[in-house]
Amino acid sequence: MTPTTETMVGIGGAAESTDMVLNIGPQHPSTHGVLRLKLVLDGERITRAEPVIGYMHRGAEKLFEARDYRQIIVLANRHDWLSAFSNELGVVLAVERMLGMEVPGRAVWTRTLLAELNRVLNHLMFLGSYPLELGGITPVFYAFREREVLQNVMEEVSGGRMHYMFNRVGGLKEDLPAGWTARAREAVAAVRSRMDVFDDLVLGNEIFRGRTRGVGVLTPQAVHAYGVSGPLARASGVDFDLRRDEPYLAYGELQDVLKVVTREEGDCLARFECLLEQTHNALDLADACLDRLAELPPGPINQRLPKVLKAPEGHTYAWTENPLGINGYYLVSKGEKTPYRLKLRSASYNNIQALTELLPGTLVADMVAILGSMFFVVGDIDK
């Protein structure tokens, strides 16, 4: 019998599959806020993802209960610091609905105008910061240039650059400054004339398209399951926009200008395209509002309120199409000057939860591309 020789080869850890837990954060990546992602990896592929939130929680919903209906606006103003005007708007709409109050026409059209300018400001930040997260630094400089043009007119009318505090129950804080509408029209035209920077410089970049096409596909089923809304949902083919489907403010009269932008792919590229095209449409809506304001006769821009404002006992729900998605406000009143309960449904909270389904199966190298394309603000998550 021929003797046999056995050789033992050491193969180390490759003999068994081992998972690695990787913490992304807590950190403050650019404009989004302090977020932590807990990832479980198998090699370079993500097998499980958990967004860990709460690092910026300020208890705004509880503080609402200790402030009167004028004071709560300052709290609601801040959770999504890129959409301050839209945040204020949802609160005052809920209170006005409880009071059965009708707002003057000038206030309705001015609110619509400022909401669309705020939408452009929000979107420009993400249009600039998303390429930055993928290694392209140039677009963010252009984004801030355009933001400054619009920030100047927003600051002139409200006195604030970031937290406008211009909405009031019954209308707006005060009328528009003399000549402001002409300056606003010039600002809108200036921004529109330079938007091709993002159309060509970003979308025309083959590296950007290579990093985003087919990456992070969000299905319509996941959109419905997690309550995702706004440009993220529409990029996955979910055709829903409150401005068209349940019009508020003056949107019912702007249906011929309003365009609901959708895509079917549901990937990072589709989300960016939706955001960019929606920015173009918001500029068109702002122009339409300026045209209508020029036709309106002089009149009040707010309602006179009693010294102590009390909402009648009951409850109501108001929702708005904020730049990042649907914001909802559930207001419960016991007839006092403070809300008994004001529950805030913020867009970013639902949108970020979809990461638990979106990230597993993808590569770590694609994680930043997917995370940045979710277009969230962490203050809007933590409230």
Helix (H, G, I), strand (E, B) or coil at 322: strand
Q: Flag residues of the chain having pLDDT under 50.
A: 7-15
Catalogue the long-range contacts made by 326-332 (C-beta closer than 8 Å, 24 or more residues apart): 326/229, 326/230, 326/242, 327/86, 327/87, 327/90, 328/90, 329/76, 329/90, 329/91, 329/93, 329/94, 331/94, 331/95, 331/98
Alpha carbon distances (Å) from 214 to 131, 231, 369: 17, 17, 11
Domains annotated for the chain, with CATH where assigned, are 20-52 (no CATH), 60-381 (1.10.645.10)
The backbone torsions φ and ψ at residue 337, rounded to the nearest 5 degrees and listed phi first, read: -85, -5
The whole-number pLDDT of residue 58 equals 81
Burial of 254 from C-beta contacts in 10 A (0-12 / 13-18 / 19+): buried
What pLDDT digit, counting tens, does each position of 147-194 carry? 999 999 999 999 888 899 999 999 999 999 999 999 999 999 999 999
Q: How far apart are CA 326 and CA 376, in angstroms?
A: 12
Closest-CA residue to 246 (of 232, 229, 262, 271):
229
Q: How far apart are CA 353 and CA 337, in angstroms?
A: 35
Burial of 315 from C-beta contacts in 10 A (0-12 / 13-18 / 19+): middle
Tell me the DSSP string of 26-84. EE--TTS-SEEEEEEEETTEEEEEEEE--TT---HHHHHTTS-TTTHHHHHTSSSTT-H
The whole-number pLDDT of residue 1 equals 54
The whole-number pLDDT of residue 3 equals 61
The whole-number pLDDT of residue 17 equals 55
The whole-number pLDDT of residue 243 equals 94
Burial of 209 from C-beta contacts in 10 A (0-12 / 13-18 / 19+): middle
Q: Name the token pair of 53.
A: 């939130």
